[in-house]
Chain A
Amino acid sequence: MVAILEQTFRDEWGRVLAALIGFLGDFELAEEAAQEAFAIAAERWPRDGAPEHPRAWLVTTGRNRALDRIRRDRTLAAKTRLLDVPEAVEDIVDDDTTIPDERLELVFTCCHPALSLDAQVALTLRTLGGLTTEDIARAFLVPDATMAKRLVRARSKIKTAGIPFRVPPPHLLPDRLAAVLAVVYLIFNEGYSSPPTRGELATEAIRLGRALAELMPDEAEVQGLLALMLLNDARRDARFADGAVVPLRDQDRSRWDAGQIAEGRVVLERALALGGRGPYLLQAALAALHMEEPADWPRIAALYGELARQTGSPVVELNQAVAIAEAGDVEAALALAERLELDNYHYLHATRAELLRRLDRVDDARAAYDRALALVHSEAERRFLERRRDGLGG
């Protein structure tokens, strides 16, 4: 029962809270009401059994608690939308399907650009993801009090600055959707790019991505982001060994999650079928191509080229150069790498060195390895580069 209860709470928190905010028009009041409703459920359901429609029960209970509170405090009532609501609201809603799904309104509010990025991330995890303040503080390595303050300030700004609770109109939607996706992807990368201990953030980001994909089934980039996260996360267990990152080509493929890769490919196909060519979709397509054996390097190079044109990122162009070399045209790869303005980036020089080595330009290769070694910070990479340099003939 406790497990079922916890699962229900995690699944329903976002929808219940969104419905309460939609009704009450006040984040703080709604969150308090939701918390009360879930606390009452935790007490009663194990004793009396769970209600037939748990979501409707939670929303109705939360709403009634909020109404009680407002009656006790009339001045608060003057500041909420409740004055416009007829008396009948206390009728018990007995069917989950009559509860509107306002999670999209909620996520666009939480990811509003008038909030700082830190606040957007924390608020999204708290409201939509249902993580506790302590969970979020631990995940982002800040003290609980700091995270609590961040959330209080964010909720307060939503109210005092008049940030709307709505899905943005079409002329604002592309920018605002990009902001939402950026928040979800940031949460994912926090979990994905650091050692496995913070993997729960990647899992949470995928949960958010699934919810968005369900709510916006026709947005190619939403599907693309979900595909990208599923495909990358499927390799999570194989990415680290003895505290060091294992490059993709050296990973133990038996430790990849085949089911999740298959799901990622299905989502990717859906995104492509929607006609998308956005940056998340392209990155997902690249993730899928990289996992194939043998890899289709000409296609990978072409996709990096397309992504580089969209993002203007020289790092993406460097990846394109590597793919061009793998596809067989080392001269073209070197020409591309040589014109990138990444002089302080050790990967540029390590890549140039590798390409020069393949072209038998031993002295130039050695100079490039030296340049890369002067810039590298990681001890593991330094040893790798030194071995490559010392293995040069001539």
Chain B
Amino acid sequence: MKYMLLIHQGDAPTPRDPEAWAHLSEDEQNAVYRDYQAINETPGVTPGLQLQAPEAATTVRVQDGRTLTTDGPFVAIKEALAGWVLFEADDLDAAIELAARIPAARLGGAIEVRPIAEW
């Protein structure tokens, strides 16, 4: 089966926010880089592309034929999608185990595991 692992950053610190990032020890910062690299190198994983911060998002709606654009993501900034990983695995347990290794999951964010529809 194929799964999309949607990464939600939540309160997890990232290098984009140097102040929050500085709360992590150097060991923890290195572990974050190392863990993402290990995930991207896991067999079955297709790494996602890196997204700019949710603050850079523009949300688009069409009402009565008019295009309406608003600043920011569709959901709240904290709930916005931060990235994704595509994973081909035997079953949901394998996908859950990979999700649990994504640093955002342990630093205040969460991973949503969504099966890809196959026809």
Contact = CB atoms under 8 A, between A and B. Distances in A.
Contacts of B93: 163-164, 168, 172
A163 B115 CA distance: 11
A160 interface: yes
A114 B89 CA distance: 16
A160 B93 CA distance: 13
A162 interface: yes
- The DSSP consensus for interface residues of chain A is loop
Interface in B62-119: 89-93, 95-96, 113, 115
14 contacts: A112-B92, A114-B92, A114-B96, A160-B115, A161-B113, A162-B1, A162-B92, A162-B95, A162-B115, A163-B92, A164-B92, A164-B93, A168-B93, A172-B93
Interface in A153-172: 160-164, 168, 172
Q: How large is the interface on B (under 10, 10 to 19, 20 to 34, 35 or more residues)?
A: 10 to 19
A338 to B, nearest CB: 36
Nearest to A172: B93
Contacts of A160: 115
Contact of B115 (A112, A161, A168): A161
Interface of B: 1, 3, 89-93, 95-96, 113, 115
Main secondary structure of the interface of B (DSSP, over half): mixed
Nearest to A164: B91
Interface in A88-124: 112, 114
Interface of A: 112, 114, 160-164, 168, 172
B48 to A, nearest CB: 20
A114 B91 CA distance: 12
Contacts of B92: 112, 114, 161-164
Nearest to A113: B96
A161 B1 CA distance: 9
B26 to A, nearest CB: 30
Most chain B beta carbons < 10 A, residue from A160, A162, A168, A172:
A162
B2 to A, nearest CB: 9
Contacts of B95: 162
A162 B114 CA distance: 10
Contacts of A163: 91-93
- Highest count of chain B CB atoms <10 Å: which of A161, A163, A164, A172: A161
B91 A162 contact: yes
A159 to B, nearest CB: 10
Contacts of B3: 162
Nearest to B96: A114
**Which 9 residue pairs of A and B lie closest in terms of their CB atoms, listed nearest first?**
A164-B91, A162-B1, A162-B92, A162-B91, A163-B92, A161-B92, A161-B115, A160-B115, A164-B93
A177 B59 CA distance: 44
A151 to B, nearest CB: 19
Contacts of A172: 93
B32 to A, nearest CB: 24
A114 B90 CA distance: 16
B4 to A, nearest CB: 12
